[in-house]
C-alpha cells in the first residue's frame, strides 16, 4: 500500500520524503516540538489534577470523581464540534491552536489561587476545553505536515510519539523527585503550594513554549516542501562550509 502511495506521490509531482528527507526538514522539528508540548500539557494536567483537587485546594475526595467528569465532558463536546467536517472546514488550525493556548494559560493563572466551589467547576471545564483544542489541532497540523507523503507518515507519527513519551517520562520523574512528603490527611501549606505550582507552572510553561512555536508557524504554509530543497539546505547556503558539506552529501546520494 505504501508503495502505491509513493507512486501516486511521484505521479502528482510531490517530492517523495524518506526519513532522511524529514530529518532535513525544519518544519518537521517545529511541529514535533508542538505536538510534544501539547501532549505534555494534556498528560501532566490530567495526572496531577486529582492531587490538585484534594491537596492543592483541600476539597473532599468526592470531587476527585466529579471534577474530572466535568473536564472530560467539556473536552468531548468541544472535540466533537471542532472535528465535525462542516465546522472544521471553517476553522483556521493555527488560530484555533493559538486560542487553545490562551485558554489554557488563562486557566493556569486562575488555578494558582484558592478557588471556591463554584469556580472549581469552571476551571475543570476550561481545562477540558483547552486539552481538546490542543490535541485535535496538533494532530491535524501533523497530518497537514505529512500532506500526501503517506509513504513515510508512520515515521513522522513514530518520532512524535517517541518525543511525547520521552518528555512525559522525564517530567514525571522530575516532579516526583521534588514532591514533598504529603498524605491524604495533610493540611501542610507546602503540599498545597507544591501541587498548585505543578498544575500552573509545568502545563503553563508548555503552553508558553507552544505559543512561541505556533507563532513561528503562522507565516509558513504547513506541508510545503520548499521546492524540493530542505529548509536546512535553504538556510545553510548562507554559510559556505555547511553549504559545501550539504552539497557533498547530495552528491553521494
Rg over CA atoms, the chain? 22
Residues 207, 104 contacting (CB under 8 angstroms): yes
The predicted-structure confidence for 22-39, as pLDDT tens digits, reads as follows: 999 999 999 999 999 999
Distance CA 42, CA 130 (A): 9
Percent of the chain at pLDDT above 70? 81
The predicted-structure confidence for 168-219, as pLDDT tens digits, reads as follows: 999 999 999 998 887 655 556 788 899 999 999 999 999 999 999 999 999 9
Average pLDDT, the chain: 85
Could you give all domains of the chain from N- to C-terminal order, each with its CATH number?
2-6+17-222 (1.20.1250.20), 224-253 (no CATH)
In this structure, what C-alpha cell is assigned to residue 205? Answer: 510553561
Amino acid at each position: 500500500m505504501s508503495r502505491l502511495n509513493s507512486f501516486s506521490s511521484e505521479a502528482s509531482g510531490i517530492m517523495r520524503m524518506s526519513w532522511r528527507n524529514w530529518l532535513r526538514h525544519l518544519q518537521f522539528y517545529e511541529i514535533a516540538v508542538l505536538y510534544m508540548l501539547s501532549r505534555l500539557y494534556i498528560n501532566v494536567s490530567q495526572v496531577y489534577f486529582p492531587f490538585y483537587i484534594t491537596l492543592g485546594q483541600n476539597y473532599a475526595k468526592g470531587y476527585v470523581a466529579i471534577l474530572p467528569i466535568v473536564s472530560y465532558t467539556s473536552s468531548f463536546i468541544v472535540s466533537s464540534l471542532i472535528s465535525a467536517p462542516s465546522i472544521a472546514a471553517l476553522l483556521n488550525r493555527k488560530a484555533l491552536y493559538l486560542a487553545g493556548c490562551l485558554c489554557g494559560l488563562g486557566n493556569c493563572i486562575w488555578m494558582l489561587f484558592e478557588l471556591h466551589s463554584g469556580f472549581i467547576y469552571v476551571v475543570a471545564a476550561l481545562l477540558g476545553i483547552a486539552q481538546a483544542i490542543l490535541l485535535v489541532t496538533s494532530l491535524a497540523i501533523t497530518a497537514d505536515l505529512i500532506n500526501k507523503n503517506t509513504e513515510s507518515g508512520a515515521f513522522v507519527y513514530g518520532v512524535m510519539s517517541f518525543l511525547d513519551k520521552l518528555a512525559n517520562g522525564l517530567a514525571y520523574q522530575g516532579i516526583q523527585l521534588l514532591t514533598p512528603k504529603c498524605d491524604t490527611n495533610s493540611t501542610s501549606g507546602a503540599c498545597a503550594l507544591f501541587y498548585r505550582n505543578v498544575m500552573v507552572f509545568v502545563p503553563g510553561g508548555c503552553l508558553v513554549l507552544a505559543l512561541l512555536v505556533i507563532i513561528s508557524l503562522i507565516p509558513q504554509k504547513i506541508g510545503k516542501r520548499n521546492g524540493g530543497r530542505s529548509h536546512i539546505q535553504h538556510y545553510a547556503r548562507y554559510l559556505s562550509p555547511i553549504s559545501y558539506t550539504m552539497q557533498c552529501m547530495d552528491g553521494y546520494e
